[in-house]
C-alpha cells in the first residue's frame, strides 16, 4: 500500500539545522577562479561514486550529499499482544514485526530532501487472537540525528487472515517524505527517519529486553521427548 508523508518544516528550524551541518563538497578552483577541466571531471566522478545510489527507489536524480539514515526503532520494531499481560507463547494474540527496509533519497543544490521507503511487515495471529481481522498501527518520524523529533505521522495497516492462516506479509511504500533545507550546506546525513509500531510501554519493555518467540509459538504442542535410562545421553 502506498502512503504519503509530507513534512512541513519552518524556515527558522531549517536555519538552525544549517548552522551545525557540514558543507557539501565542491570542486577546487585553480588560479584565476577557473576549475581545471581534468580535476573537475575527476572530482565529479568521485562525488558520483560516493553519493549516487543506482539501486535506490529514486535513481534518476543525483544527490548533493548522503541520504538521511533510515532504520527501525528497536523498542518498536515488534508488536506482541499478551492476554492478561502474561508473557508466554500460549497467551500471544496478534503479533507483528518489521522485517526489512529499503529506501532512497534525492536532492541537489538547496532543494528539499525527498525520501521514499519500502517496508516489509510480517504479521501474525497467535492462539489468543480474536477474529480474523486486525488493524495494526505504525508511525514514521523524522528527527535531527540523535536529537529531537521534527515530525511524526501515524498510519493504519488493516490485515485480514484467511481461515487457518496464522501469518501474512504486507509491503508498505511511504512516499513524499520531504525535508526542507535552508541552503546547500545542509546534508541529508544530519537527519534520521525512524519507523516503528505504535506499541504500549509493556510492549516496548518486552522488545527492549530482547525477548521474542518463534513465529509459530503456541500453534502446536511440543513433540514428546524420548525416555532415557540413567547414565545415558540422547543426541538430537
Mean pLDDT by 10 residues, the chain (236 residues): 55 33 28 49 55 43 78 94 87 93 90 93 93 95 87 95 92 90 87 95 90 52 43 37
What pTM does this model have?
0.65
Q: DSSP states of 63-75 as a string?
A: -SSPPPEEEE-GG
Q: Report the relative pairing of strands 149-160 and 167-179 from DSSP bridges.
A: unpaired
- pLDDT at residue 211, rounded to an integer: 73
Count of C-beta atoms within a 10 Å radius of residue 214:
8
Nearest to 179 by CA among 107, 128, 235, 131: 107
Cα dist from 192 to 78, 80, 141, 150, 166, whole Å: 20, 25, 8, 10, 34
Determine contact, residues 101/72, Cβ cutoff 8 Å: yes
Amino acid at each position: 500500500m502506498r502512503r504519503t508523508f509530507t513534512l512541513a518544516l519552518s524556515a527558522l528550524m531549517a536555519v538552525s539545522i544549517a548552522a551545525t551541518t557540514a558543507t557539501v563538497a565542491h570542486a577546487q578552483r585553480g588560479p584565476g577562479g577557473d576549475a581545471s577541466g581534468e580535476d573537475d571531471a575527476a572530482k565529479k566522478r568521485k562525488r558520483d561514486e560516493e553519493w549516487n545510489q543506482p539501486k535506490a527507489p529514486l535513481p534518476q536524480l543525483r544527490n548533493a550529499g548522503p541520504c538521511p539514515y533510515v532504520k527501525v526503532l528497536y523498542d518498536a520494531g515488534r508488536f506482541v499482544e499478551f492476554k492478561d499481560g502474561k508473557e508466554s507463547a500460549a497467551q500471544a494474540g496478534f503479533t507483528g514485526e518489521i522485517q526489512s527496509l529499503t529506501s532512497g533519497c534525492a536532492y541537489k543544490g538547496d532543494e528539499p530532501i525527498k525520501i521514499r521507503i519500502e517496508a516489509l511487515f510480517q504479521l501474525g495471529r497467535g492462539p489468543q487472537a480474536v477474529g480474523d481481522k486486525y488493524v495494526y498501527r505504525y508511525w514514521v518520524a523524522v528527527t535531527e540525528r540523535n536529537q529531537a523529533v521534527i515530525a511524526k505521522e501515524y498510519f493504519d495497516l488493516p490485515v485480514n487472515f484467511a481461515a487457518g492462516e496464522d501469518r501474512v506479509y504486507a509491503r508498505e511504500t511511504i512516499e513524499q517524505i520531504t525535508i526542507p533545507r535552508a541552503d546547500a550546506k545542509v546534508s541529508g546525513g544530519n537527519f534520521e527517519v525512524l519507523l516503528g509500531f505504535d506499541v504500549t510501554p509493556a510492549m516496548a519493555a518486552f522488545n527492549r529486553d530482547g525477548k521474542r518467540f518463534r513465529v509459530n509459538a503456541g500453534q502446536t504442542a511440543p513433540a514428546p521427548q524420548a525416555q532415557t535410562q540413567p547414565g545415558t545421553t540422547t543426541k538430537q
